[in-house]
A and B are shown apart, each in its own frame.
Chain A
Amino acid sequence: MSTDLKPTTPVEQGPPPPARPLGRGTVRAPLWATVTKWVLIALAVLLGAYLVQRVISAGYGIGVVVVAVVVMAVVAVYSTRRAVPMKYLLPGLVLLLALQVWPIVYTVATAFTNYGDGHAVSKEEATRSIIANSVQEVPGTPRYRMSVAVPAGSSPDTGDLALLLTDPQGKSYVGTSKGLKDLPSDGVSKTVTGKITAAKGWTILTARQVNARKDLANLAVPTSDGGGIKPVGLSEAFVGKTTIVYDAAKDTLTNTTTGKVYVPRNAFWVPQDGQGDAFPTGWKENVGLKNFSTLLTNETIRAGFLSIFVWNVVFAVVSVGSTFLLGMLLALLFDDNRIKGRKVYRSILILPYAIPGFVTALLWRSMFNQDFGLINNLTGLDVDWLGNPWAAKAAILLTNLWLGFPYMFLVCTGALQSIPGDVREAAKIDGASPFRTLRSIIMPLLLVAVGPLLIASFAFNFNNFGLIYLLTKGGPYESADTSIGSSDLLITYAFRLAFSGVTPNYGLASTVSIFIFVIVALMSYAGFRRTKNLEEVN
């Protein structure tokens, strides 16, 4: 629904609120500015009205309220001269709510449900689907050629529906919700297959008209054996029988052929006597804290979660550390004026950064192949890079070093160039050795500049989904447990829970992502506190 809110952004480009020196009397805004302002406000209102229509047709009642509130806020803030700070803040606030707060709220809400494969729809819908799926053709009954018609003179949109049927023997009938009657043959014309194209007293509907009649789905011409003649598409009808009925009073399903009764349990319809299969279609329901308790108490998940978490932290720390060290060393090296052609070297060093990471990751994956890969071929090793848990981790760190150092090289180069020359000169005059200058002068200044970037890089690598997914898919898997891979990050683990693997479970995956969110938030907070200390030292 957040997409519905986005279009309010044009407001952002609206006229700046007229700057108004307070207490000096009013300065009239030029006419064109006033006109533009009101045109833009009117546009925002129109856009809101349009969105409300769309939202209603999509069936989201709550969306109407949201759009209305936003539009009213726009009018209130921009039409008056008051609330000057809000004039600047509103667009940002709306976007913040739509793009940041709403997904988080949605994630948290999902974490309390069993939403996932087999639990994707409401109970009513699941029940309706089970009943619809239980329709079986009555054996030994004929197939009819069919046309859909309404009595002549009544409207194709509202007239009582009737099926004009021809059985395999060529005999024609009229079927309505009351039953089957013979169709008098006068004025009837048919195609070669028997489909009736005209009949006296009836208006035959076109394909589009038939399609528009949503009530056709509920039409079944009752037959003597308890079944009903139902249409298949536009030109055929069969005798079908619904075998499952719903008892609203007892909240049970009953199979009318076998007499088996089904009761709702754990968001599925299961046989009351415990014998046989449940229906495959389940429904979405609230499960309270079940997902959280599963994560914390299930032995496999908990052990796996812990090992994944440890590796995740190691991966992020080593990735940031290694890329930063290499990038910084290279930056220091090429910071030296005596090196000729520095621009060329620098451009070449940035190349890995310019090639899409996905291409690089896939390339490295094939280079790590034990039999056919470049790395084993060149070095004469026979390491099973992607099949051995430790080697796979090393392979991932190597690839990430390759992918990540150009970025660190770039930011360090920039930071080094911004360190004033007089500081270095002062150190030189004081007799500091180059190493001492580096350690006591340049490094602290460099860290102040790149510290926040290191934290950002940590947070990014902590959730570096693409790399893991393309390189190892989280594998290799230790024997007899394919839910937890030895190179999995929490994010790839959550992804597998949500979208692939055994049964996609959005509820559980949302819970995992809440954990990830908390972990990253705590770590980033600690990190920012540290860089703040650095700044104070400075």
Chain B
Amino acid sequence: MHKRAYATVVAASGAVALLVSGCGGGGSSTGGSTGAAAPATTSSTTTTAAASPTTTGAPKRDANADLVIWTDADRAQAVTKYADAFGQENGVTVAVQISTDVRQQFKDATKVGQGPDVIVGAHDWLGELVQNATVAPINLSPDVTAKLAPNAVAATKFNGQTYGVPYAVENIALMRNTALAPDAPTTMDQLVAEGTKIKDASGGKVTNVLIQQVGKTGNAYYSYPYLAAYGGGIFATKANGDYDSTKLLVDSAGSLKGAAELAKLGKSKVLSTNVGDDNAEALFDAGKAPFFITGPWAQTNAKKAGIKYAVSNLPSLAGGGPMEPFLGVQMFYVSAKAKNPTIAQEFVTNYVTREDVQMALFEATGRPPALTTAYEKAAAEDPMVKAFYEAGKNGKPMPNIPAMNSVWGPLGQAAADVISGADPTSRFTAAQKEIAANIAKG
């Protein structure tokens, strides 16, 4: 807990004060990272920016700067470079500070008026941030909007209002170890057949057919594509494209078919609750599995481990369509309590949408840019960018409504239970009930 000591004392000291004695430093960077943060938590934190050295606590707002930006360590360097250029152009000083848990630290610091002007983060935080009145709307001109990927723009909207400027789109795809599996399977049945052949022929070296994060508490992010393949999902959409928290699809016919597929794969030991966020990458990087369902963030370690890999679309499921992943969109938010709102708005609307900035952020994190021209450049540079983009072409943005917080736990657990043998129909019906009750509780 000491990680958030500063903000905690003032903001959440109520709840935390008595917890402190028991935490002793354990409860860091948890925030709302229940399931959605799968992408975020797996990214490594190696780079350090020149702006401020990394500490374990929330950064202390630089009081002298005319613009304060909080970001994680991965992107800090790229953001700093362009923030400095922006500062010189406009005669202002900019401070880029590294936050170890942007989502929670931003919320806590903003409550006590010590928050930054701009943060960099994922689009699915949006509902929660609006709910707490911590982010301000952004008015991008229609010309600029047209240059961005439409699904990225859709993800920046909540209740019909735009709250962010997107710079990257990410999604999961099928990664394969080309030394083990030279060809990409197009259906799950093919994948299992081929993977099993490879496993049996390896003499114990290959232990898993497919690596996919499940874990004991499950993972809704990686389970969703199975539901979507049969037309199921989590929420139905409203007429204006927003997700409708009152129309749950977890026990719809399509979702139940997807759950049955998860059960089948669990029974044949292709999926297992013993593979989770703690060992998934390690298993693939040790060459113990030919196939891995993961996102662009896993490339760094795979390269380091010397794995030759290729990326293709998620396979399609028997009797259904192709698996469709959730899209995660990375974007810049402006704080509703920004001390420098004008400069902050100027930076995100005129700078983040520049091609060179989007390219720099792409090079720092490997996520395909949201700006179409930048994406085309990046795709020409790196075929994997194109492969990941293609895999997510039909995907829907991860819901950014606050009700999604009620989904991660129950849906993940239902998937884990089904994979370890529970009856898919009754388990997913129960999960739907639990989610509906949680949403009703608000």
Contact = CB atoms under 8 A, between A and B. Distances in A.
Nearest to A130: B133
B283 to A, nearest CB: 8
B132 A234 contact: no
A149 interface: no
Interface string B10-33: 101111111101111111001111
Nearest to B133: A129
B26 A470 contact: yes
A252 interface: no
Interface string B411-442: 01110010010100001001101100010011
A380 interface: no
B143 interface: yes
B27 A502 contact: no
A438 to B, nearest CB: 34
Given A280-B131, A282-B131, A238 B90 contact: no
Given A110-B15, A369-B279, A464-B22, A143 B27 contact: no
Contacts, number: 261
Given A132-B136, A479-B430, A498 B12 contact: yes
Interface in A118-174: 118, 120-121, 125-126, 129, 132-137, 143
Contacts of A477: 217, 409, 413
Interface in B91-135: 91-92, 104, 107, 111-113, 127-128, 130-134
Contacts of B273: 370, 387
Given A234-B342, A476-B217, A240 B66 contact: no
B272 interface: yes
B133 A121 contact: yes
B215 to A, nearest CB: 9
Most chain A CB within a 10 A radius of its CB, from B33, B158, B343? B343
A517 interface: yes
Interface residues of A, number: 97
Contacts of B344: 233
Most chain A CB within a 10 A radius of its CB, from B283, B346, B433? B346
A217 B272 CA distance: 54
Nearest to A376: B274
A202 interface: no
B231 interface: no
A25 interface: no
A469 B26 contact: yes
A344 interface: no
A133 B130 contact: yes
Interface stretch (A27-35, A101-109, A404-412): A101-109
A207 B16 contact: no
Contacts of B32: 499-500, 504
A457 to B, nearest CB: 13
A107 B402 contact: no
B46 interface: no
B402 A503 contact: yes
A354 to B, nearest CB: 16
A120 B111 contact: yes
A285 interface: no
B352 to A, nearest CB: 11
A104 B30 CA distance: 24
A480 interface: yes
Nearest to A475: B217
Contact of A281 (B23, B34, B131): B131
B127 A280 contact: yes
B126 to A, nearest CB: 10
Contacts of B133: 120-121, 125-126, 129, 281
A8 interface: no
Contacts of B438: 502-503
Interface stretch (A39-47, A73-81, A506-514): A506-514
B216 interface: yes
B405 A501 contact: yes
A372 interface: yes
Nearest to A498: B15
B350 interface: yes
Interface string A359-395: 0001001100111100000000000101100000000
Contacts of A370: 273-274
B405 A502 contact: yes
Most chain B CB within a 10 A radius of its CB, from A1, A104, A211, A366? A211
Given A495-B27, A503-B442, A107 B90 contact: no
Given A109-B14, A513-B18, A502 B342 contact: no
Contact of A491 (B13, B22, B406): B22
A253 to B, nearest CB: 14
B345 interface: yes
19 contacts: A2-B9, A103-B18, A126-B133, A129-B336, A132-B336, A133-B136, A133-B161, A135-B137, A207-B343, A236-B350, A280-B127, A281-B132, A362-B278, A369-B279, A371-B275, A466-B27, A475-B217, A479-B422, A491-B22
Q: Give me the 8 closest cross-chain CB pairs, A-B, nearest first.
A: A463-B22, A233-B346, A466-B26, A110-B14, A103-B17, A480-B430, A129-B133, A233-B345
